[in-house]
Homo-oligomer: A and B are copies of this chain.
Amino acid sequence: MTGAAVFEENVGVSTPQARETFEKYLRKRGLRVTDQRMAIFEAAVSQKEHFTAETLLDHARAVEKSRYVSRATVYRTLPVMTESALLREVDIGTGEKFYMPNVGANAQVAQVVCLDCDRIFEISAPFMEWYGSTVSSKLGLTPESQRLQVSARCNALRDAGSCPRRGGNGTRKPARAGR
């Protein structure tokens, strides 16, 4: 049931004409096109894996020719990008929220979180939508969204003592940069 295809490498969309799309969206919503917002946008859509607000801040500050970006602005811009469906919010219950560029139609995805390497894998799970409507209607509710997450342990780590996925992402950042 339900082809569970694993998206190992989720290629982040670069910034050829994507920039224009975001500019257009901002204007349509009556929001101003600022240097900071564009830098945060560029940093966000170029991510290949899940990222946090803190990581995004670092990358936004690394965007060339951009003005200084503050943490507050990142936090204020993230909702704009998720509302525009550019990003997807992924809450794995660790205190900090993760985000992921929304590539195409992978809206219905489940996450498999490796508790050993902190990695987040995404799996298409189209049946989630069906399930959501089914159970919601029984309660007189209209589904808005659904999330399915599996927490798991690494077999290789248990057997061989080391995790094959070299600390790609997920490796928790040590501290906070600018306070």
Contact = CB atoms under 8 A, between A and B. Distances in A.
Contacts of A145: 150-151
B135 A155 contact: no
A115 B6 CA distance: 30
A77 to B, nearest CB: 20
Q: How large is the interface on A (under 10, 10 to 19, 20 to 34, 35 or more residues)?
A: 35 or more
A136 B156 contact: no
Contact of A149 (B147, B152, B153): B147
Interface string A119-150: 00101010010011011101111111111111
Contacts of A153: 141-142, 144
Nearest 4 CB-CB pairs, A to B?
A141-B152, A91-B93, A132-B150, A146-B150
13 contacts: A4-B134, A6-B135, A91-B93, A115-B144, A125-B131, A131-B148, A132-B152, A140-B154, A140-B156, A140-B164, A142-B153, A142-B155, A145-B150
